Chain A
Amino acid sequence: MALSLAEVEHIAELARLRLTEAEKAQFQEQLSAILEHAAVLQSIDVSAIPPTATVLPLHNVMRADEVRPGLSQAAVLSNAPDPYDGFFRVKTILEHE
């Protein structure tokens, strides 16, 4: 289950990581090894087991529709590097650029 270099580049792009050529080769090898491990699990016959999304014995954990106080604006923005007039200010990035 070896990943191609193009697949590694695509995954890096989705994660917004800029990799050097050496890193790409390194991650190609490491990610492929992880997938090989997953392939071992894939080989188990689970056709008789219903798909499950969680191993917790919980369901229907819900809350009533009640308003609770949140944080103050000052607290919300206290870690923002460049707040402006109550907003977070960030560099403009066009969608899926």
Chain B
Amino acid sequence: MASGDIAYETIIGLEVHAQLLTASKMFCGCSADYAAAPPNTHVCPVCMALPGALPVINRLAVEKTIRAGLALNCTIAGHTLFARKNYHYADLPKGYQISQYELPLCHSGWLDIEAEGAARRVGIARAHLEEDTGKLTHMGEAAGDTRLSAGRGAATLVDLNRAGIPLLEIVTEPDLRSPEEARAYLVKLQQILRYLGVSSGDMEKGAMRCEANVSIRPVGQTQFGTKVEVKNLNSFRSVKLALEYEVARQIAVLEAGGRVVQVTMGWDEEHGRTVVQRSKESADDYRYFPEPDLPPLEINPAWVAELRAALPELPDARAARFAAVYALDERDAALLAGERATADYFEATAAALGGTAPAARTAANWITGELFRLMKAAGVEIEQVQVGPAALADLLGRVERGEINANSGKRVLGQMFETGQPAGRIIDELGLAQVSDADALAAAVDAVLARYPDEVAKYRAGKESVLGWLMGQVMRETRGKGNPALVRALLAKALEG
């Protein structure tokens, strides 16, 4: 980042909250599947904070946090505690959030990322477990809004279904040096959480949320500049745009001789700008203290070892294997390995095609090309695709063997994608079986040569480019079904004769 005479360095740290995929909440047995539930129907005395109700830790949430910590190269604490983070807000029925402060479950890890052609190792300061808050809907003061009580001004509706959903908080060191690196980190983190089945990582649905700390400093300065917190980053795109905006804003402040003030900003997606939410003059005072209702956890190293041994192959390792074993180019390997379901689909297709490197490359080409194109056009994920790996391999086998040509193959795949019918039936229905019968094709060649004597004469006089045109005419004569290699050979032979 350069502006004027001084070059600036950008320093970014990210805080990510990811909802864990559990059936029940963090400290009670209420269902965690609240997305389609009417308000306040997944609530019990524990998560609505009735007096005397006691929380009990969900073991699976602890397990998933440890698995995420291991995948992020963290140290797993032997002794860990929950703590109360005290503040008053309508989304927090207890008046405190159960979180972790000292002694988090996971700490001191790292994640390797690549952005703008350069590799960077991003430190993970901590990954801890806490509970989500309730959901608030603020109502406008517009006249006629029936959700307002008469004369009471602005109102807020509170739904406690989300209160108590297990939440994994992952905090990086201030190691990111550009908005693009921040985006790359989030993409990678989301891939890993999904691979582990730890979180859906769905940012649109609020299952993964991001906050950033941003500062700038003149290149060469070791001391950090004043940091600004940016909230409300709800997509990869908004993370990048908000950080670019904020970095430019801070540079402009310094260039104008001002100083950056420590504040919390919110990203205003609609207007593409960051706006001040609150100043930090009265610093947060959460009065953390150990949660007296929850005895400490002593994490057994044998449990950690068991979870480590059961970790799946992660995206980077899988992409490297695809590149090494199947000789895929790095871009395709990364594309296929990015989502676990896609990687599984690719490997199953390649295996059904014989499992050799050439078979895998054929599968990779069709999946990253034609299948991804169809999925994008239909707006579906690989899990919803009606064409299973075996069905796709069946189609690709037919193309390889010359039963249909590649263009017909694409047409057939399109139909399979639409209808879920097997390749064989669609080929029959569309009459696409490639004609490899030499007699039938020779007749088509003869017919074309007889129809275009002028072009034949030109070719024989040395204008070789006419061959391609004649080839096209013969293919047309066979309605696209001719085996192209055979047609070319027959045509060459006939022209020489």
Contact = CB atoms under 8 A, between A and B. Distances in A.
Interface of A: 10, 14, 16, 53-54, 56, 58-73, 76-77, 82, 84-93, 95-96
B86 to A, nearest CB: 8
A66 B23 contact: yes
Contacts of A82: 149
Contact of A63 (B48, B57, B138): B57
Contact of B156 (A63, A86, A93): A93
B157 A76 contact: no
Contacts of A54: 290, 292, 295-296
Q: Is the interface of B mostly helix, strand, loop or mixed?
A: loop
B138 A66 contact: no
A92 B149 contact: no
Nearest to B157: A87
Contacts of A61: 56-57, 294-295
Contacts of B57: 61-63
Contacts of B278: 95-96
A40 to B, nearest CB: 20
Q: Is the interface of A mostly helix, strand, loop or mixed?
A: loop
Contacts of B31: 67, 70
Given A14-B285, A63-B58, A71-B45, A86 B39 contact: yes
Given A73-B40, A85-B147, A90 B23 contact: no
Contacts of A72: 41
Contacts of A92: 138-139, 153-156
Contacts of A53: 81, 290, 296
Interface in B135-188: 137-139, 147, 149, 152-160
Interface in B1-35: 22-24, 28-31
B90 interface: yes
B298 A60 contact: yes
B39 A62 contact: no
B157 A89 contact: yes
Contacts of A69: 29
5 contacts: A63-B29, A63-B57, A63-B58, A71-B43, A93-B89
Interface stretch (B59-67, B201-209, B378-386): B59-67
B39 A91 contact: no
A95 B58 contact: no
Contacts of A87: 39-40, 137, 157-159
A93 B136 CA distance: 11
B308 interface: no
Given A60-B295, A60-B297, A77-B40, A68 B155 contact: no
Contact of A16 (B59, B88, B290, B297): B88
A68 B158 contact: no
Interface in B267-294: 277-278, 285, 287, 290, 292, 294
Given A62-B59, A86-B38, A86-B39, A67 B29 contact: yes
Given A89-B158, A93-B89, 4 more contacts: A60-B298, A65-B23, A67-B29, A86-B39
Given A65-B60, A82-B149, A89-B155, A56 B295 contact: yes
A60 B300 CA distance: 10
| CB-based closest 10 A-B pairs | A68-B29, A70-B44, A53-B290, A65-B60, A92-B154, A87-B157, A58-B295, A88-B158, A62-B59, A86-B39
Contacts of B60: 64-65
B59 A95 contact: no
B107 interface: no
A5 to B, nearest CB: 16
B40 A91 contact: no
Contacts of B44: 68, 70-71
Interface in B54-107: 56-62, 81, 86-90
B42 interface: yes
A90 B155 contact: yes
A50 B295 CA distance: 16
Contacts of B153: 91-92
A82 to B, nearest CB: 7
A93 B59 CA distance: 35
A4 to B, nearest CB: 15
Contacts of A66: 23-24, 29
A78 B24 CA distance: 24
Interface centre among A14, A84, A87, A95 (most CB of B within 10 A): A87
A89 B156 contact: yes
B297 A90 contact: no
A82 B151 CA distance: 14
A86 B135 CA distance: 13
B61 A65 contact: yes
Nearest to B30: A70
B257 to A, nearest CB: 30
A62 B56 contact: yes
B220 to A, nearest CB: 36
Given A53-B290, A61-B57, A73 B155 contact: no
B30 A68 contact: yes
Contacts of B285: 10, 14
A19 B159 CA distance: 32
A59 B296 contact: yes
Contacts of B89: 93, 95
B149 A89 contact: yes
B298 A88 contact: no
Contacts of B160: 76, 88
